[in-house]
Amino acid sequence: MNIPSKYLENAVDQLTSLPGIGRRTALRLALNLLKRTETEIDDFSKALIDLKHKVLFCQSCGNISDHSLCPICENSNRDHQTICVVEDIRDVMAIESTATYRGIYHVLGGLISPMDGVGPQDLNIERLVEKVGQGDIKEIIFALSPTMEGDTTNFYLFKKLQQFAPFITALSRGVAVGSELQYADELTLSRSLQQRQEFKMN
């Protein structure tokens, strides 16, 4: 692809660094941006800079927030004795869209995957253990994707948390085995939450 401007080519290179964006799509996006006014581009640029510098991670659960605590953790009407453990922020958004869960969350930031060099020390696990160890938690829901990595992470968490004797459950298998939680439709996800079962080592 012959691009006649080094500035346009630089923009295309940056856009292709985003997941799912090939060079043709990146070129189309860059050319669209080129047609916009300076004010629109300034607003666009500022939004990205603010995203990087101003979005925080909740000190309690790891969700994204504009403040030290996310709106879910700050909400006194939520059930703070029930924790739903998820892989990442997109899973929080997916579950919240079902409007059926009233507890709080804990975002791991990934799954244990030895093949990819991701171990327990790379995830937000110790904060979860500390929180459960304080003794105020009645139920922990494992809402991880039903993949090999998700199951491995479930087993590891179960071993770490069972000493504190909370009731540990997992989503029912309404979510297809091998699929990622964030792609489940709202009805399936809602039913999987409502029909969750006690987690057992088998």
DSSP string, 12-74: HHHHHTSTT--HHHHHHHHHHHHTS-HHHHHHHHHHHHHHHHH-EE-TTT--EESSSS-HHHH
Which pLDDT value is given to residue 178?
47
CATH of 6-54, one of 1.10.8.420, 3.40.640.10, 1.50.10.10, 1.10.630.10: 1.10.8.420
Which pLDDT value is given to residue 172?
66
Task: Just give the CATH number of 69-198.
Answer: 3.40.1360.10
Which pLDDT value is given to residue 195?
65
Which pLDDT value is given to residue 184?
66
d(CA 28, CA 34): 10
Which pLDDT value is given to residue 174?
55
Domain map (residue ranges) of the chain? 6-54, 69-198
Do 6-54 and 69-198 have matching folds? no
Q: Which residue has the tokens 């691009």?
A: 3
Which pLDDT value is given to residue 199?
76
Determine if the pTM surpasses 0.85. no
Which pLDDT value is given to residue 31?
96
30-52 pLDDT, tens per residue?
999 999 999 999 999 999 999 99
Can you list the residues of the chain whose pLDDT is less than 70? 1, 172-185, 187-192, 194-195, 197, 201-202
